[in-house]
Amino acid sequence: MRRPELLAPAGDFDSLKAAVYHGANAVYLGLSNFNARASAANFNKDTVREAVKFAHLYGAKVYIALNTLVKDAEVPVMLELAEAGIHAKADAFIVQDFGVVSVLKRCFPGICLHASTQMGIHNLYGAQIAEKLGLQRVVLSRETTLADIKEIKKNTNLEIEFFVQGALCVAFSGNCYMSALECNNSGNRGKCLQLCRLPYGAEYDNRKQKENYLLSPADLCLIDRLEELAESGVCAFKIEGRLRRAAYVAEAVNCYRKAIDEGFPPQNDEKKERLKKVFFRGDYLTRAYLDDGVPDRIINKDNQNHIGVPIGEVTGVRPFKDIFEIEIATNHPLVSGDGLKFFRNGREVGSIGVGNTIALTNGHYKVYGKVNPSPDAIVHLIRDKASEDTILAQIKKLPVTVKITALEASSLELTACCKGIEVRETSHYLVQRAENAPITPKEIIKQVSKTGDSVFSIARAEVEAGQIFIPKSVINETRRNLLLKLEKSILENAEKSVTASINTLEIDRIKKEIVSCRNPVCEGVYESFENGEGKLTDENIAVIYPSDFNGEETAFAVKDVLEQRDTPCLRLPAMASGEGVRIIEKLLQKNKEIKTLLINNLYGFAFAERGYQIIAGWGLNMYNHFALQTVYGLGAEKAIKSVELKDGLDSDNRLYQFCGKGFPLMTLAHCPYKTLHGNTCEKCSYIKGLKYTRNQKTYSVVRHKLDKCYFEIIDDKLNIE
């Protein structure tokens, strides 16, 4: 079995270096715009080539994230960034927007595209549509099951990438609209405000629960599941964290590199303890959705941020000037630069960065800060300065062997070999016979070994020299030229498989298409009702959306629609495992009157090939007219534009605008009732009417059932106009 690629985040150059030095096979990074981590330092048109060169010299690939939704008017700027990535010899681009897929393929023949997890691919049908669009790799949604990974691998030629470490979005990938609609900061545009990490209250069955972090998941840690994932077809293990520090990247890459190289050990307790120090929200998710699609535990109700690892307790606190002197009992040797958090009854009560520290006897320390934790508070280490300094100090150089020939009346000749590539450099200077003290082989090797801040180090050097004299400046110049030539050759070898080219004529055509777009006017309205159903008013198409996708409820709804002399349309779930898709297929076989489907995920286009009329829904996030052209090409006869988009789409008589209530701000694959009660599916505690509350807002938590339950978060007062 081929070892999967280890893919690491690079939010800045320090993180990129940390990833490469510790063994990442690839890194993913964003440029100055159009990436899902807009608040990261990121790279730009001027720095991306240096980033790619650095990675390629070490044999690591670079994937550029262009994985946000893009307006028509923004396409020219997006193309400039993509062109910079092409010039930089990036290996692939990660994309979400269907329109961006189309534009990049037109403008850059040979480009390699990866489907972002934001595209929401999680079953075979969705993967097959992605393959049809010309994508080479899919970054599967975190909600994907192990069974569906196997099915995708077996029935497509796609590469499969899967998140194994890091933050887990609570909402289904690409279909979280809370930040966009409440705060005008779209997660689909890289500006998510993470409202899911705030505390929420719960109301149900005439009871109220105190506020907890009811929508804040713990982090993924699948380091014990790597062998299963690899055997199922995953070719790339992805670490989340472009907003994390370089120390996090170094530690995460180091731990997963060792796990891969050790042959996927089933237990990695020591590695998990190291990972907890750099970022840990508590109770790692070691199964995710892999086994049954509905994990019993995913939410960490008590904490929503890094809690680190416990190292001791507070033994005393007293005022000290305008701050507090805190005495701590711990076996961890505290140093300036450490980070600490204090907890009472499992809840955080304060944190400090350790500045001045006084070591007392018997493992006691005095530290100082503005926080006033009570005695007996548990102390957690959230930053281990000494450990981080150690791992970040580990710099990897490329070992070079050099053969040096310095013979009288001949040019100085240096031959270098690195990574199987050999280059030769000769001086213009002719070596002279030494009249007095000849230069020694040791002195020659010393000069040749001065590689400075280059990526190379001289591992071995052989010298053939007589009784000669040669200026050190000649040796230095020849060495510099040799290493430049070696770097160039390594890059040429690493980049020979990057074949994307630039079609300037097509870029000009794209720009003219944008200029020719008419004023944005939606010809039709999709009227949404509170229960999630709706109607295309000018077409008399009535959309039904069963709470339970069983034959009885659906047949009753279809009958009611037909009695109103409307055309029945079934709204498909945004999420459907392979087993769920089979239930939908059986449902459609039993209800022949349904010939129209409203789809909110790529997998729905598979039904267009079976003769169904397809309405491309809001969940497909159509933001530009290139995306519209794509969904029409896939078989959609009508489309509903993104609810986030207030302007910018060309008009046609097939385009609709969402209006009304019942809009799903989030779609959840976990069970909120398990979060509240700690039960399992066997002891289901479902009671209709669950509400989440935050400040003055109230959200209905609405259940739908396919093969498993899934839930939607609906703002009761939101009325989209």
How many domains is the chain built from? 4
Q: Is residue 403 domain-shared with residue 376, that is, in the same domain?
A: no
Query: Residue 618 maps to which CATH number?
Result: 3.20.20
Separation between Cα atoms, residue 251 and residue 693, nearest integer Å: 38
Q: What percent of the chain has pLDDT over 90?
A: 84
Structural domain of 624: 519-715
Over range 678-699, report the average pLDDT: 91
Instruction: Say yes or no: 416 and 386 in one domain.
Output: no
Query: Residue type at 593?
Result: E
Chain-centre distance for alpha carbon 368: 38
Task: Report the distance separating Cα 394 and Cα 618, nearest Å.
Answer: 48
pLDDT band at 648 (very low <50, low <70, confident <90, very high): low
pLDDT of residue 28: 97
CA distance 37 to 166: 14
Shared domain for 411 and 347, answered yes or no, is no
Whether residue 280 has pLDDT greater than 60: yes
Quick check: is 33 in a domain? yes
CATH code of 385's domain: 2.40.30.10
Q: Is the pTM of this model over 0.85?
A: yes
Note the pLDDT of residue 562: 92
- Do 317 and 464 fall into the same domain? no
Are 647 and 579 part of one and the same domain? yes
Q: What is the CA radius of gyration of the chain?
A: 30
Cβ neighbours, 10 Å, residue 504: 9
Q: Give the burial string for 391-428 (b: 16+ CB within 10 Å, else e).
A: bbeeeeebebebbbbbeeeebbbbbbbbeeeebebebe
Domain boundary pick from 392, 416, 449: 392
Nearest to 307 by CA among 233, 435, 213: 213
Mean pLDDT rounded to a whole number for the chain: 93
Exposed, middle or buried: residue 361 (CB in 10 Å: 0-12, 13-18, 19+)?
exposed
- List pLDDT tens digits, range 217-250: 999 999 999 999 999 999 999 999 999 999 999 9
What's the CA gap between 136 and 114, in Å, rounded? 6
Average pLDDT over residues 426-444: 92
Q: Which two tokens stand for residue 14?
A: 């320090």
Q: Final residue of a domain: which of 454, 479, 494? A: 494
The enclosing domain of 56 has a CATH number of 3.20.20.70
Under 8 Å CB-to-CB from 614, ≥6 apart: which residues? Answer: 596, 597, 599, 604, 605, 607, 608, 634, 635, 636, 637, 638
Convert the pLDDT of each residue in 94-153 to its tens digit.
999 999 999 999 999 999 999 999 999 999 999 999 999 999 999 999 999 999 999 999
631 and 559 in a common domain: yes
Are the C-beta atoms of 401 and 416 separated by less than 8 Å? Answer: yes
Q: Which residue has tokens 């490469």?
A: 20
Are residues 330 and 382 located together in one domain of the fold? yes
